[in-house]
Amino acid sequence: MSFRRMFNAVETHSGEPMRVVTGGVPQIPGDTVYEQMKWLEKNDDQIRKLMLREPRGYPPVCCNLIVPSKNPEAKAGYIIMEQSEYPVMSGGNTISVATVLLETGMIPMHEPVTEFMLEAPAGLIGIRAECSGGKVTQVTFKNVPAFAAHLDAVIDVPGLGKVTVDVAWGGMFYVIADVRQFEGLRLVPEQGREITRISALVLRAAQDQLPVAHPDYPGIGITVSQLSGPPHSEAADWRNTVTVANGPIDFDDPSTWTGALDRCPCGTGTCAKMAVLHAKGQLKIGEPFRHENLLGIAYTGRLVEEVRIGDRVAVVPTVSGTSWIYGFNTYVLDPTDPFPEGFTVGDIW
């Protein structure tokens, strides 16, 4: 049989399921991975929809395409795809991509440490992978600079009232709210539905009321919400839950007040949180920051230097975490399949 499309993928998770497509990726024009991402978004968005929607995906899944990099410093490039956008950077996905490249032999593994560069749409990302017995035990990536855009801003959220939030860039723009503002809400899996409802409302209000801009990525706004609170483990500094939107949020349509909870501690969200804490004088350069998620998985972040992004003070973060391979799959698109871009159904989307 001749299939319309065929992709080889490595299935990984860091709590969050993060698919890494290693074969079947078409040649994508562009001199940088950022240009490749923009071309793909405009001309072949079918890949993202096919990989992330049913029957091959479900709301929390992320996906990455391994692509060649023309930058002589980078071993490979990767395009990050999520349910509603193409992020220029994602920490958990970076950890998974590095793990797959090393554990499948696409990049030679050197024990006890393998160091190399990857090219994300956001630019060059430094990788330091700790390796033992042919496995990657921990990945530390050096991210693009992070910065706070709004601190302790008060927004009006329909149905919730006035909410105090921070907004920061960590590779994506996050609106961050302390969960203790919402009576009875705790960052635990059992309250996932209420977490997504509140997060969706806060995200839409922040999008409407708090303008943001990044000098290198025009047009990117606030796309992710993060609730923060006290840790549940003595080994962690903060607990967080990030909600990834499934689509546009309409205050008049309660069915849109939802999303998928990030099942990992969120690498770029950790960078955004560290930028906020540093701007408030609560996190020093070089000080370790343990960020756990609602499953109890933790990433360790660290700010390594101050820099400038345009007229803003920014910080360069590193984040360390682990990803695990749990499967290998070949995905195909049958020429008679009535859903060439997959589908969504309102019971879970």
How open is the CA angle 54-58-64, to the nearest 5 degrees? 100
Q: For residue 311, what pLDDT is reported?
A: 87
On the 0-12 / 13-18 / 19+ scale of CB atoms within 10 A, 99 is buried
pLDDT of 347 over the 90 cut: no
User: Which is it for the CA torsion 174, 294, 278, 287, positive or negative?
Assistant: negative
Residue 1 in this model has a pLDDT that exceeds 80: no
User: Is the distance from CB of 275 to CB of 148 less than 8 angstroms?
Assistant: yes
212: tokens are 């943001």
Residue 349 has pLDDT above 90, yes or no: no
Amino acid code (one letter) for 213: A
pLDDT in tens, 236-256: 999 999 999 888 999 999 999
Q: Is 90 a catalytic residue?
A: yes
* Rounded-to-integer distance, Cα 19 and Cα 78, Å: 12
- pLDDT, tens digit (0-9, with 9 covering 90-100), for 265-274: 999 999 999 9
pLDDT the model gives residue 247 = 86
For residue range 84-96, what is the model confidence (pLDDT) as tens digits?
899 999 999 999 9
**Active-site position among 14, 62, 69, 90:** 90
Please list, residue by residue across 69-88, b when 16 or more beta carbons sit within 10 angstroms of its beta carbon and e when fewer do: bebeebbbbbbbbbbebbbb
Whether 266 is catalytic: yes
Whole-prediction pTM: 0.96
Question: Which band of pLDDT confidence, cut at 50, 70 and 90, is reported for residue 310?
Answer: confident
For residues 59 and 345, is the Cβ–Cβ distance under 8 A? Answer: no
Spatial CA neighbour of 101 closest among 81, 78, 84: 78
At 229 the three-state DSSP class reads strand
Per-residue pLDDT, averaged over 87-109, amounts to 98
Task: Give 216-227 pLDDT, tens digit per residue.
Answer: 998 999 999 999
Q: Of 71, 66, 70, which is closest to residue 81 (Cα–Cα)?
A: 66
- Give residue-wise pLDDT tens across range 182-224: 999 999 999 999 999 999 999 999 999 999 999 999 899 999 9
Q: What are the tens digits of pLDDT across the range 267-302?
A: 999 999 999 999 999 999 999 999 999 999 999 999
Q: Taking each helix axis from N to C terminus, what angle separates 267-279 and 91-103, rounded to the nearest 10 degrees?
A: 140
Domains of the chain: 5-144+324-333 (3.10.310.10), 147-319 (3.10.310.10)
Number of H helices, E strands in the chain: 5, 17
| Residue-level pLDDT at 204 | 98
Locate tokens 């020429």: which residue? 335
β-strand partners of 64: 20, 80
Overall average pLDDT of the 134-145 stretch: 98
Marked catalytic residue, from 131, 264, 266, 271: 266
Confidence class for position 260, pLDDT limits 50, 70, 90: very high
DSSP-assigned letter for residue 100: H
Query: Distance from CA of residue 212 to its chain's centroid?
Result: 19
